[in-house]
Structure 1
Amino acid sequence: MTKQNEQITIAPVPQEELAIFKEELQEAFMKGLQDSFQEAEDPTEMGPIPSDEDFENSLTAKDSVVRQIVLNGERIGGIVLKINPDTQRNEVDFLYTKANAHGKGLGTKAWEAIEAAFPKTKVWELHTPYFEKRNIHFYVNKCGFKIVEFYHRGNPGPSIEGEEPESDADYEFFRFEKVMTKESSEA
């Protein structure tokens, strides 16, 4: 667990640090893939995850908010969100913590800081691949999300224009939601 004096905050990412932020995010996502498929051939041959294009699209999307997760002045992770000011149905595009922050309760504290930074949120939504057991555990058991849909070939999720999935695994994602109650949004 974290020490009492350790404080998690979220802060804007300076423009000149966006390239490093993207590298950290891709490294964290690749580590999750490697941990899930240890017997697979070198997953780095697939290219970065998320792709540079997906990352750029997320950064430039309408209502995109990019923040770093900071512990005592040092970035330990980051988030890319879509904040809809009209509906307050907000989406987590990407959330990562560096490997040295895993298993210490920092991700949970980071999520609490995100909720505190966006107190008007009515519903949080996110997607994660079916094989990311650590993510599924984190979102369901630590952050209070519910799995509300499973996307697969028979129930494909929202498609990205011009993209054709290469395999069945590309279809297999969970959609999570966290409905914020009046009590939790006032806490």
Structure 2
Amino acid sequence: MIHKRITLVEAEVGDFSSFKSELQTAFAVAVVDEFGQLPDGPIPSDTDLDAAMGAPDAVVLRIQFDHQPIGGAILSINEETKHNSLGLFFLSPKKHGRGLGYLAWQAIERRYPETLVWHTHTPYFEKRNIHFYVNKCGFKIVEFFNDRHLDPHGPSSSEFPGADEGFRFEKIMKG
């Protein structure tokens, strides 16, 4: 069964450099597809990734298929409130379109069964992500950030075009 071939392994600090590089490569594909080129520097920046990966409640996971890394996730797990966040999620572009992202998300949900609500976000232009979160994983769009309603925690438009427009999603697991 294919879902048993997906595993989640906490990334080791010594693996963070390659994890960041793989994540930035995966994110670059969508930016280049939408805007034709990358701005100066990787997206997300090394500084932003270091902050996300080093946050006190962060869990950095490698997504593996048949024990080979194919992607990763950076989660924020709040043991007290059980409101957890999917900060960043990626698969190698070579693995897109095979259902592996959905299987990886299911594995994350199984890993944190006490979660009451999952939160995540994505830029407005990421149609694949919007489809994935809403139509595949069961998230609901709960907020749209734009120039009239800024994301207080989001990137600035100076990072890349359209960075200040995006959606916030929630998935209520249990009440």
| Superposition TM-score tier, normalisation by shorter sequence | over 0.9
Kept in 2, the 8 Å contact 1:152–1:168? The answer is no
Q: Residue in 1 aligned with 2:52?
A: 58
Kept in 1, the 8 Å contact 2:123–2:165? The answer is yes
* 1:177 equivalenced with 2:175 (yes/no): no
Aligned identity (percent) is: 44
Q: Residue in 2 aligned with 1:141?
A: 135
Kept in 1, the 8 Å contact 2:117–2:174? The answer is no
Alignment of 1:36-51 (within 5 A): 36-37=34-35, 40=36, 42-43=37-38, 45-51=39-45
Residue identity matched to 1:174: F
* Structure having the higher Rg: 1
Cα RMSD (Å)? 1.9
Q: Secondary structure at the match of 2:162?
A: helix
Gap change, CA 1:107 and 1:164, over 3 Å in 2: closer
Alpha-carbon shift at residue 169 of structure 1 (Å): 2.4
Q: Secondary structure at the match of 2:24?
A: helix
**Structure 1: how far apart are the matches of 2:28 and 2:57?**
26
Gap change, CA 1:151 and 1:5, over 3 Å in 2: closer
What 5-or-longer segments of structure 1 have no aligned partner?
183-187
1:118 is aligned, of 112, 121, 139, to 112
Q: Report the more deviating stretch, 168-177 or 128-137.
A: 168-177
**Structure 1: how far apart are the matches of 2:108 and 2:26?**
19
Give the TM-score normalised by structure 1: 0.87
Aligned positions, number: 174
1:77 is aligned, of 66, 71, 76, to 71
Kept in 2, the 8 Å contact 1:69–1:77? The answer is yes
Q: Residue in 2 aligned with 1:20?
A: 18
Give the TM-score normalised by structure 2: 0.92
Q: Residue in 2 aligned with 1:156?
A: 150
What 5-or-longer segments of structure 2 have no aligned partner?
none
Alpha-carbon shift at residue 157 of structure 1 (Å): 1.2
**Structure 2: how far apart are the matches of 1:157 and 1:168?**
15
Kept in 2, the 8 Å contact 1:148–1:176? The answer is yes
**Structure 1: how far apart are the matches of 2:28 and 2:73?**
16
